[in-house]
Amino acid sequence: MIGKILGNRYEIIEKIGGGGMALVYKAKCNLLNRYVAIKVLRSEFVNDKTVLEKFRKESQASASLSHPNIVNIYDVGEEGDIYYIVMEYVEGKTLKEVIKKKGVLSADEILEFSRQIALALKHAHSNHIIHRDIKPHNILVTEDNRAKVTDFGIALAATSSTITNTGSVIGSVHYFSPEQARGGYTDEKSDLYSLGVVMYEMATGKVPFEGDRPVTVALKHIQEEADKPSEHNMSIPKGLEAIIIKLMQKEQSVRYSNASEVIEDLYKIKNNIDFDDIDNTLKIEDSPTQIIPAVTADEMKELTNSKDEFNSNNESTKNKGKKKDKRKLVIGSAIISALIAAIVFTFGFFYLSDLFKVENVEVPNFVSMNVEDAKELAGKVGLRLNISRKYDNTIPKDEVVNQLTSEGMKVKKGFEIKIIVSDGSKLATVPDLIYKTEMEAERMLVDEGLETGEVVEEFSELPVGTVIDQNPRANFKVAENSAVDYVISKGPEVVTINMPSLEGKTLEEAKNIISRYNLTLGDVGKEYSDIYEEGIVIDQNIGANTQVQEESVVNLIVSKGIEDEEVDEDTNENGPSARTISITLDDYTDTVNVEIFNIEDREEKLVYAKEHNIEEEGNTVRAQVTGEGSQEFVIYINGEKQETIVVDF
């Protein structure tokens, strides 16, 4: 694979890892000029439909997630018999490598890594994705100590079937939950159990259960209680140990309900906030609902034999009691009295039941009603309401979200109907992101229970990557999980221009052009010129038509005219004189080519040639020529002869 290019853009550089199903390579994206990680399905699995489907599920599950603590998925593709996923390339180590190197992590490190992993799980679970293979090997730690969860290879959407095939338990044996070990129902709490095992290993340097075979470790997860972390690390805070123990409860119902609760308790410990003792006991009702097994045929036979034996014994007793005939009369009288009492009771029961009969009513639909209207309706039909509330970002405050007794059911008057009423959106405070880096802004939003919205870049005097604006504003109250948009600086705007030609202009004209193009005039030097008269620009340090930034410094050389020549004392003759020829270009536009020839002995000698930009340099050309006596010159514009003039020197 080394050197191979996938998708016409991803050039494989080196192999950096691998697992049971795939190999991982470092590659360079030639389109965006960045390094990426590419997971390539092993060749032995490309014809296995089951494995291919699992590989596709990984890409679908991962691509739906976007979070600072989850490795991003950039692309998915296949080329021939190569199936691959393009991921974010993370510089750093796995959490497993960090634990191996340090042995036991500090309390602050455990709290911070655990919080970041829990934030990743919270995001995944809110998108109905269960990871099902949380372990230190699948957690990358960047150079700035950010934890990033990767490898959703065995994740399933929580809304689909989560019953694991008992013949094929999925997960890593040292880290998976008891329900995974049993091949039972897995949910978000299964990931939380695995998080507890990871925290246990960070705190103690070892996994809670060891064994010589995978099945031995799996049985320990189901049957045995792990040693307390403090038995291996006496310095672990009591509250942190309590969180680990609650996460690793065998019964799913005793663990934390969701990742948000874990994050909240971790926050309290980190900030030394007291919280109630964590209850790790299972709540069991005094009279729980049970499934009563059917009576088997053997049990029925046993009951029948017992009855026959009882009758036989009873007959024997009667024979023995023949001598006690008087008792028969007493027993008979008792029986007759009992019959009479039964008849009276029966008639009385039916009479009284009619007298105290309670009317049945039909349960109305309370859902979507205002809670006050629901109370009024319940009172009219003779029902009572048991109201509980919950935050809901999609349903207005005081609106009934659900009712636990279905609409249309027949119940007695006075029956209590349980309803759930929206408490509206749970509000969060928008943090102040201005002057923060983009990475800091992402973390601050996650900490407040908010999400990153639209991020745009604009030119600014602030450093690149600095937040320069945000919406909503800081300290504004918004619904939890709301998106916050912000603007990132991409540094000062650099404007480039096409350098104009200043040669042939007067110094004043050149200054005006420099000012108009937002350039800066630098040094102005002077030199003699045989071509340009005094005060005309003869050179510039930045060549014409060169792309330069605004406010660039332009240095000029201005003509001092022709240098005076000394008189030859022997001949007493002066050198050649200079004259300026002015040519008007009123009938031309854009750039024209101006040429001047000196006619000597009927031959034309080129003495001036220049391309003149009318828009930048005006419509007048001033050409300086030299000579002695009376000279004849021919002017050509764009190769066409215009006129012949005579100049006296």
Q: Are residues 70 and 84 in the same domain?
A: yes
pLDDT at 288: 32
Assess whether pLDDT exceeds 70 at residue 155: no
| Separation of alpha carbons 254 and 260, rounded Å | 15
Last residue of a domain, one of 88, 115, 146: 88
Q: Are residues 126 and 253 in the same domain?
A: yes
pLDDT at 334: 54
Q: Are residues 146 and 208 in the same domain?
A: yes
339 or 496: which leads in pLDDT: 496
Evaluate whether 93 touches 185 at the Cβ level (below 8 Å): no
Evaluate whether 558 touches 525 at the Cβ level (below 8 Å): yes
* Mean pLDDT of all residues belonging to the chain: 80
In which band, very low, low, confident or very high, does the pLDDT at 141 lie, cut at 50, 70 and 90? very high
414 CA to centre of own chain: 50
Share of the chain above pLDDT 90, in %: 34
pLDDT at 1: 85
Assess whether pLDDT exceeds 70 at residue 566: no
Closest CA to 126 of 486, 449, 442: 449
Q: Collect all residues with Cβ–Cβ distance below 8 Å to 588 and sequence separation of at least 6.
A: 614, 619, 637, 638
Please report whether residue 342 resides in a domain.
no
Please report whether residue 345 resides in a domain.
no
Q: Are residues 503 and 588 in the same domain?
A: no
pLDDT, one tens digit per residue, over 361-400 is: 889 999 999 999 999 999 999 999 999 888 887 888 899 9
Assess whether pLDDT exceeds 70 at residue 83: yes
- pLDDT-wise least confident of 5-9, 101-105, 315-319: 315-319
pLDDT at 424: 83
Q: What number is the average pLDDT over the span 489-510?
A: 88
pLDDT at 25: 93
Q: Are residues 130 and 232 in the same domain?
A: yes
| Separation of alpha carbons 112 and 316, rounded Å | 82
Last residue of a domain, one of 220, 240, 270: 270
285 or 439: which leads in pLDDT: 439
Q: What number is the average pLDDT over the span 109-114?
A: 95
Q: What number is the average pLDDT over the span 153-158?
A: 46
Evaluate whether 7 touches 79 at the Cβ level (below 8 Å): yes
How many domains does the structure of the chain reveal?
A: 6
Assess whether pLDDT exceeds 80 at residue 177: yes
Exposed e or buried b per residue across 169-200, where buried means at least 16 C-beta atoms within 10 angstroms of its C-beta: bbbbbbbbbbbbbbbbebebbbbbbbbbbbbb
Q: What number is the average pLDDT over the span 411-437?
A: 88
Give the domain range for residue 437. Answer: 427-489
Q: Are residues 408 and 521 in the same domain?
A: no
CA distances from 647 to 107, 446, 560, 628 (A): 97, 84, 22, 9
Evaluate whether 172 touches 221 at the Cβ level (below 8 Å): no
Assess whether pLDDT exceeds 90 at residue 455: yes
Assess whether pLDDT exceeds 60 at residue 242: yes
pLDDT at 322: 47
Q: Are residues 469 and 511 in the same domain?
A: no
151 carries an active-site annotation: no
Half-sphere exposure of 434 (CA within 13 A, CB side): 10
Tokens of 361: 């009513």
Please report whether residue 566 resides in a domain.
no
Q: Is 162 exposed, middle or buried (0-12, 13-18, 19+ CB in 10 A)?
A: middle
The CATH number given to whatever domain includes residue 24 is 3.30.200.20
The CATH number given to whatever domain includes residue 603 is 2.60.40
pLDDT at 588: 86
DSSP 531-574: SSPTTBEEEESS-TT-EEETT-EEEEEEE--SPPPPPPTTT---
pLDDT, one tens digit per residue, over 546-561 is: 888 888 999 999 998 8
Assess whether pLDDT exceeds 80 at residue 285: no
Q: Which helix (H) or strand (E) holds 299?
A: helix 297-320
pLDDT at 392: 80
Q: Which DSSP letter does residue 268 get? A: H
pLDDT, one tens digit per residue, over 43-73 is: 887 787 777 776 676 666 667 788 889 988 8
Q: What number is the average pLDDT over the span 183-194?
A: 85
Which one of 48, 133, 279, 325 is the catalytic residue?
133
Evaluate whether 401 touches 395 at the Cβ level (below 8 Å): yes
Q: Are residues 96 and 194 in the same domain?
A: yes
Assess whether pLDDT exceeds 50 at residue 437: yes
pLDDT at 568: 39
pLDDT, one tens digit per residue, over 588-641 is: 888 899 999 998 877 888 888 888 888 878 888 888 888 888 889 999 999 888
478 or 286: which leads in pLDDT: 478
Share of the chain above pLDDT 70, in %: 80
The CATH number given to whatever domain includes residue 481 is 3.30.10.20
- pLDDT-wise least confident of 9-18, 334-343, 559-568, 605-614: 334-343
Q: Are residues 129 and 246 in the same domain?
A: yes
Q: Are residues 133 and 203 in the same domain?
A: yes
Please report whether residue 482 resides in a domain.
yes
228 or 144: which leads in pLDDT: 228
Please report whether residue 35 resides in a domain.
yes
Last residue of a domain, one of 252, 270, 288: 270
| Separation of alpha carbons 425 and 185, rounded Å | 31
Q: What number is the average pLDDT over the span 557-585?
A: 67
In which band, very low, low, confident or very high, does the pLDDT at 108 lie, cut at 50, 70 and 90? very high
- pLDDT-wise least confident of 267-281, 282-296, 567-581: 282-296
Please report whether residue 81 resides in a domain.
yes
